[in-house]
Amino acid sequence: MRPNTVLLAPLALFASGALAFYPYTPPWLKELEEHNAGEAKRSTENGMTFDIRRRASRRAPASQEEKAAWQAALLAHKYNERSPPNPSHDSKLSKRGNQFHIMEAVDPKTPNTAGLDQDGTDYSYFVEALIGSQKTKLYMLLDTGAGSSWVMGSDCISQACSLHDSFGPKDSSTLKTSSKDFSIAYGSGSVSGSLVNDTIEVAGMSLPYQFGLATNTSSDFVHFAFDGILGMSMNSGANENFLSALESAGLLQKSIFSVALARASDGYNDGEVTFGATNPSRYTGSITYTSIPAGTDWSIPLDDMSYNGKKASAGGINAYIDTGTSYMFGPAKNVKALHSVIDGAQSSDGVTWTVPCDTTTPIVVTFSGVDHPISPEDWVSPKDSTGKCTSNVYGYEVVSGSWLFGDTFLKNVYAVFDKDQTRIGE
């Protein structure tokens, strides 16, 4: 149970795929890749270490040509990708047979609940999905901003697919293909392929489901540990979103789901998503609900933001709540207003702000008069090679005229997405 955790109920979903899974790697994260690449153990700043173990791969032994291609991909990954902040306590990270570290979640005890694994960096959070007659296990990003679901197909020849587990006809006798194509854009990333039908099992619930089988993915997906995306928006995209599919299958008493994200630096991954209910052990206090404005997605009006008691006048617009986005983004003027009340904050471009590394004060966001502190563990980055720290609140207007609150925010709340009553509880 998380102390002083609050509830954020239903938010509306992104109708456009461009609003979901916003792939952004800040400079401080790119810089650290060299330090951690290939380590069997990782060390924290206070000297503690945790093991990395290798997860068995379903792939056949690689040929020399495949090994060469993978090595080239790893070098590109090493010099162009991010590196994780290290957990501060002993923690088991398993390394996938394809190239990615996984910080596995503990098995939840609540019914209809799935653990939320992550990559050990707080960069992305995903569920384990069992697909097809052979129950092929794939990691799928839990994405409240996406109306479409898809996984990497076995026929995909993109670089990202070669580094991930995949799914195809050889993995399931119940797979039904179709001639329907799909194509989705995610920020600077994209994916395309064909729609298929098969069974999918998540959180112990199994149902027939139509999803995308990707034959092409952009290079953005080289940098993420998940093998596909589970669309959890209220709207549907190329296929029916997963929440609606669960509802149609009669597997939920209520069309809601609740999310708790774990912080890697805590050294213990108890992250989870509960479908159709809440888990009272994961929050304290009562729930205050905020209605979703008509015509929007998983978004609610933001009252304001503050720091050390100083109001920033950065609200008055909607904030989209997106489990598929790592950080926080907003219009440059609103982001500037926030950092103007943070002592020592500086920016040369209005996008990225440096802040004092010894900051211990939370940023506070306010919805419906209720304050939600965001820990400096989440909004302040680790030091870069020059000894500077940056704010994880960036001046990118990803959603026109709105804030986009990703995992930096969500690690500090218990979020309940209530489709039935189109509201957010906090």
The domain ranges of the chain are 7-15+266-425, 17-260
- 188 CB neighbour count, 10 Å cutoff: 12
Is 143 catalytic? The answer is: yes
Which residue in 122, 220, 303, 322 is the catalytic one? Answer: 322
Which residue in 119, 122, 143, 220 is the catalytic one? Answer: 143
Architecture of domain 7-15+266-425: Beta Barrel (2.40)
Within 81-166, residue ranges assigned H as helices are 159-162
Specify the pTM.
Answer: 0.83
Task: Report the SS3 class of residue 315.
Answer: coil
Contact 394, 311 (CB under 8 A): no
Name the strand (E) or helix (H) holding 414.
strand 414-418
Per residue in 243-294, pLDDT tens?
999 999 999 999 999 999 999 999 999 999 999 999 999 998 877 788 999 8
Res 302 pLDDT > 70: yes
Which amino acid, one-letter code, is at 199?
A: T
What would the two tokens of residue 285 be? 């206090």
Q: What mean pLDDT value characterizes the chain?
A: 83
Task: Report the SS3 class of residue 29.
Answer: helix
C-alpha span between 392 and 29 (Å, rounded) = 11
Contact 11, 289 (CB under 8 A): no
Architecture of domain 17-260: Beta Barrel (2.40)
Fold match flag (7-15+266-425 vs 17-260): yes
Res 60 pLDDT > 50: no
Is 407 catalytic? The answer is: no
